[in-house]
Amino acid sequence: MDAARAHDPRVIVEAHAEGREVECSVIGNSEPETSLPGEISTRGAEWYDYEAKYSEGGMELAVPAPIGDEAVARVREPEWQTDPSGVRRRLEELGLPLFVKPARLGSSVGIAKVSEAAQLGAALEGAFAHDPLVIVEAFSAGTEVECAVMGLYEAEASVPGEVVLLKGAEWYDYEAKYSDGGVELRVPAGIPDAAAQQVRRLAVETFLRVGCAGLARVDFFVEDGRVLVNELNTLPGMTPTSAFPKLWEATGVPWPEACDRLVGLALERHRAERSGHAF
Ligand SMILES: Nc1ncnc2c1ncn2[C@@H]1O[C@H](COP(=O)(O)OP(=O)(O)O)[C@@H](O)[C@H]1O
Ligand SMILES: [Mg+2]
């Protein structure tokens, strides 16, 4: 870290390990004073403006096709207010159950599972309370799998880990994510080898297509014979319980080495940007 700092203090930001507060502020709140740039500046480090945009861009870009075009709809609040029956008709095509999500949030905040049509209105209202753009997805009964990625022009994916809910939660909701003993990451995931390979390939492809730099975590549903990208996290959690470090450890990359790689990637990107390359 000190060596990197000697070159550019901004490297600290990208490789910072004290992720819990940062992660919560980013994915749970978009107010400027509590967002990641605000958080970082209170720690006295400089912040790349474009990185904030970049990260939001990653979230937005993850929106259009989380589990395949035919199974996803986007609903904007004005449309719901002016033509609720039209929206209901459009969403009927997705079948039930449905997942209703604010488009640009995280931590499962504002998300609802809709098992009966009568629950749809409340679920949409709940999501619109956080974001005027909402995504509605068909339900996937697949195994939830997470895959860590590092890279820049090329990228490498970790072995996939499986989200195992421990307290009988029906899905990976806020309570399961943040209460003690709510979840366990099983590494490697209990999925067939072919599916694991596909997860790794798709994780790299997603990372490169969206134009990520440095690090990301790509989350999947692995169904029988189908691997679906659910979500791209452009700033994955970095707490002692977070998946990103664990997944690299399980891939044979000890955490200090992973940090070195991230610092190296940050420096490489910084050099490239100084010479005019835009990521
Ligand atoms: N289409 C879906 N089918 C089944 N479960 C889903 C679906 N979408 C989301 N979930 C459940 O909701 C959780 C949170 O959704 P996700 O899209 O990952 O949002 P967040 O950004 O809040 O983590 C997932 O981890 C999963 O348990
Ligand atoms: Mg998620």
pLDDT at position 6 = 54
The C-alpha atoms of residue 231 and residue 61 are separated, in whole angstroms, by 10
Distance CA 105, CA 111 (A): 9
List the residue whose alpha carbon is closest to atom 25 of ligand 1.
172
Q: Is residue 279 part of a domain?
A: no
pLDDT at 43: 35
Q: Find, among 177, 95, 195, 80, the residue nearest to 133 by Cα.
A: 80
Q: Kindly report the CATH number assigned to the domain that includes residue 102.
A: 3.30.1490.20
22 in a structural domain: yes
100 Cβ below 6 A of ligand 1: no
User: Is the residue at 61 inside a domain?
Assistant: no
Whether 64 is covered by a domain: the verdict is no
Ligand 1 in reach of 220 Cβ (< 6 A): no
Domain co-membership, 149 together with 126: no
Return the pLDDT at 70.
Answer: 61
Q: Are residues 166 and 228 in the same domain?
A: yes
Does the reported pTM lie above 0.85? no
At residue 7, the pLDDT reads 54
pLDDT at 211: 84
- In this predicted structure, what is the pLDDT of residue 133? 93
Ligand 1 neighbourhood includes 177 CB (under 6 angstroms): no
Q: Is 230 in the pocket of ligand 1 (CB under 6 A)?
A: yes
CB-based contact 232:216 (threshold 8 Å):
yes
Q: Please give the pLDDT value at position 151.
A: 96
- Give yes or no: residues 182 and 213 share one domain: yes
pLDDT of residue 226: 85
HEC-encoded secondary structure of 89-110? HHHHCCCCCEEEEECCCCCCCC
Atom index in ligand 1 nearest the CA of residue 139 equals 3
In a shared domain, residues 30 and 89 = no
Kindly give, in sequence order, each residue whose CB lies less than 8 Å from that of residue 249, ignoring residues fewer than 6 positions away: 255
Is there a single domain that holds both residue 204 and residue 80?
Answer: no
Residue 86 lies in a domain: yes
- 260 and 194 belong to one structural domain: yes
- pLDDT at position 193: 96
Q: Are 255 and 165 found together in one domain?
A: yes
Q: Both 109 and 193 in a single domain?
A: no
The domain tally of the chain equals: 3
Residue of 130, 143, 171, 233 to mutate, ligand 1, most atoms within 8 A of C-beta: 171
Distance 40 CA to ligand 1 centre (A): 28
The reply to whether ligand 1 has any atom less than 6 angstroms from the CB of 172 is: yes
Domain termination residue (choose one: 91, 117, 138):
138
What pLDDT score was predicted for residue 3? Answer: 65
Contact 162, 145 (CB under 8 A): yes
The answer to the question of residue 60 being in a domain is no
The DSSP secondary-structure symbol of 235 reads: S
| Per-position pLDDT tens, the chain of length 279 | 566 545 544 333 444 444 333 322 233 333 333 344 433 333 333 332 223 333 333 433 333 334 445 678 999 999 999 999 999 999 999 999 999 999 888 889 999 999 999 999 999 999 999 999 999 999 999 999 999 999 999 999 999 999 999 988 999 999 998 888 999 999 999 999 999 999 999 999 999 888 889 999 999 999 987 888 888 888 898 877 789 999 999 999 999 999 999 999 999 999 988 887 776
Last residue of a domain, one of 118, 138, 158: 138
Q: Which of 231, 232, 233, 235 to mutate to test the pocket of ligand 1 (most atoms within 8 A of CB)?
A: 231
CA angle 52, 55, 56 (to 5 degrees): 90
End residue of a domain, out of 122, 138, 154: 138
Centroid of ligand 1 to alpha carbon of 221 (angstroms): 9
Q: What is the DSSP letter of 65?
A: -
Question: Ligand 1 within 6 A of 101 CB?
Answer: yes
Q: Please check whether residue 243 lies inside any domain of the structure.
A: yes
Cα 231 to averaged position of ligand 2 atoms, centre (Å): 6
**What is residue 241's predicted lDDT score, i.e. its pLDDT?**
79
* Same domain? 177 vs 194: yes
Which runs of E-coded beta strand occur in the chain?
72-76, 98-102, 112-114, 133-138, 143-151, 155-157, 161-165, 183-186, 214-223, 226-233
Tell me, in angstroms, the distance from the centre of ligand 1 to residue 62's CA: 13
Domain identity same for 150 and 112: no
Same domain, 130 and 217: no
pLDDT at 238: 83
Q: Which domain holds residue 73?
A: 69-138
Q: What is the pLDDT of residue 39?
A: 37
Domain at 203, CATH number: 3.30.470.20
78 part of a folded domain: yes
CB atoms under 10 Å from CB of 229, counted, come to 20
For ligand 1, pick from 162, 172, 178 the residue to mutate: most ligand atoms within 8 Å of CB: 172
- Amino acid 155: pLDDT: 97
105, 28 in Cβ contact below 8 A? yes
> In this structure, are 9 and 51 located in the same domain?
yes
Cα distances (Å, whole numbers) of residue 209 to 58, 129, 213, 279: 11, 31, 11, 12
CA distances from 255 to 9, 80, 84, 248 (A): 21, 46, 50, 7
Which amino acid does the sequence have at 252? G
**Range 2-23 burial, b when 16+ CB lie within 10 A, else e:** eebeeeeebbbbbbbeebeebb
